[in-house]
Structure 1
């Protein structure tokens, strides 16, 4: 969780802010607040700005279903993912759906393209429809998003990352630990000229989980006295086959004697292998490659890709069972943090130099 959300977490209140609260804070009538929300051009700019500031400060979200759903039972669960094209996030949705459909809940899915601003817009739209719970990816959010979620008065579960201070609950794994495990694995095979490829971090748009992997990787290299100068952050998130092609080209031009490389995603790793083959660089004879994610394409390329695996389908199911327990009152609403673990799948893309 980012520092931005830490102070907001302490301000968590027991009730969802109302239009009356917004009107009181802005010093206007409830009708004026309604007009700002529905017909903002009819409100004087100064008044409109004052109301919008009150909305932001309170984390208020209009309730679009209040008039027709007095029971507050909508049957919808909101799921926010960074992308719909990543197979692992699809597996999270599958696992969730398998569990939730048993109790007749349905997913409302949106995606952010790794953009924190878009995450805020999507969550605002979802909350207006009163989902009974919210699941979102990662532990880094804007402060305004954390405030909004804490005031939503529904269970919130962060997925695919573990934070020391989750908003409420978390089901995932340590991306930082992924990086450390990756570095230790390559070092244990006898490599010293070790590189890595990831996307470039950005303030509002970036793969923060991938960056955590790279930071863990760098820490482990330094702990073993190995330089991090061959760790490359290149291009924007999300990473892809093309990203791997471009990044390994840069690294090999910089250090032709590179021995091993870690890619923060199997997608980049496959691009790395492809570009090596185009250049006549033998994998793993000259360069060993390690990925993350255990994507299907990594299993079928030649050589098959050694990777760090997380069972994302099981992650989705664990989150679903936790959610049903929370909604059903089976467990107290105390913060839950569930680590689904990770493991290395050894295939043929890494050479053991210790033999």
Structure 2
């Protein structure tokens, strides 16, 4: 039943008008548009595609939830991460879900697969459902993504990195500093020839940043340029083992390796043991992530521990405060990281 409030009636009429525009462009009824947006499984893929194309062409992003038009925002928080299989981001999302317990808010999760173009499409789709807030991973986005988020006039939190110019608020740590601290540790442990192993360096720019910090600090400390091997696929134990076999075959004098992911580092550890290279006497090894297996490997893995759960917890704490009308607070929140020194160095 339509409310008697003139403001609500105006919004309802405006939304119906815009839905009619989408329907005309897509060549379907407004009822079909509503179904495509509310219950997409009830509409054929071809019709869904036409409706989605019309939505994007008309920039029809706001108030598509006809049942929620009396309220400007839904009770959802959109969250976009670059990978659903990476334990780093899974821990952050889990912490966010736990921090939302006892509230009426729900997470709406999207996977960009390390693609800014995919992220742009996800943001457009999420904004169509009038989320209360949006959470993104990283600080690099397309211009269309940034513009859409600014126009949405909702709280936006970028995570896992730092920048002096966030869209709204950013919570994370310096990826470059995480690479630099490894050099300090290797130097203190007497390393002479450094190696680096990475994965997806053409797409995972956080790994690229850690690599840059590692190389910059190595050269500044007087080391020769590190020997490097990267794999194109996702980080895996098998990939790490193969990469290290290649690295040590071409650079047998390498005595310290930084792997940009603990999963890769575990592969290095296995391959080094297979080749009879004692860790840490012959080869020092450091990973990144502080994944659970690192504390149980033999030797236990030295690693850089990012604030995976703290990022999720603080993101929700800030959003709940903002959504309740509280002050925005600091726009840049640096949570830092820890070097966890164990037996592999």
2:334 corresponding residue in structure 1:
339
Q: Deviations over 1:246-298 (max 9, x none)?
A: 22112111111210000111111111111112222222221110011100011
Larger radius of gyration: 2
Distance 1:318 1:82 in 2: 19
2:315 corresponding residue in structure 1:
319
Matched, 1:268 2:264: yes
1:187 corresponding residue in structure 2:
187
Q: Tell whether the 8 Å contact from 1:168 to 1:335 is kept in structure 2 after alignment.
A: no
Q: Tell whether the 8 Å contact from 2:191 to 2:255 is kept in structure 1 after alignment.
A: yes
Provide the TM-score with structure 1 as the length reference: 0.80
1:86-105 correspondence to structure 2 within 5 Å: 86-105=86-105
1:235 corresponding residue in structure 2:
232
Q: Deviations over 1:295-346 (max 9, x none)?
A: 00111111110011123112211111111111111114x6611111111111
Matched, 1:210 2:207: yes
Matched, 1:292 2:281: no
Distance 1:73 1:257 in 2: 60
2:81 corresponding residue in structure 1:
81
Runs of 4+ in structure 1 displaced over 4 angstroms?
29-34, 49-55
Distance 2:327 2:180 in 1: 34
Distance 1:295 1:52 in 2: 40
The 1:346–1:66 alpha-carbon spacing in structure 2 relative to 1, beyond 3 Å, is same
Q: Tell whether the 8 Å contact from 1:176 to 1:216 is kept in structure 2 after alignment.
A: yes
The 1:135–1:52 alpha-carbon spacing in structure 2 relative to 1, beyond 3 Å, is closer
Q: Deviations over 1:26-82 (max 9, x none)?
A: xxx99655533576x99xxxxxx9996774xxxx63542145332124211111111
Structure 2, gaps ≥5 residues long: 1-13, 29-45, 48-52
Distance 1:94 1:273 in 2: 29
Distance 2:209 2:96 in 1: 25
CA root-mean-square deviation: 2.8
The 1:36–1:271 alpha-carbon spacing in structure 2 relative to 1, beyond 3 Å, is farther
Give the 3-state SS of the residue equivalent to 1:103 in structure 2: coil
Matched pairs, number: 312
Distance 1:69 1:31 in 2: 15
Q: Shift in Å at residue 98 of structure 1?
A: 2.1
The 1:274–1:154 alpha-carbon spacing in structure 2 relative to 1, beyond 3 Å, is same
Q: Shift in Å at residue 96 of structure 1?
A: 1.2
Q: Tell whether the 8 Å contact from 1:235 to 1:243 is kept in structure 2 after alignment.
A: no
1:4 corresponding residue in structure 2:
none
Distance 1:78 1:100 in 2: 13
Structure 1, gaps ≥5 residues long: 1-19, 24-28, 43-48, 351-355
Distance 2:161 2:230 in 1: 21
Distance 1:200 1:284 in 2: 27
The 1:129–1:38 alpha-carbon spacing in structure 2 relative to 1, beyond 3 Å, is farther
Q: Shift in Å at residue 102 of structure 1?
A: 3.0
Q: Shift in Å at residue 214 of structure 1?
A: 0.4
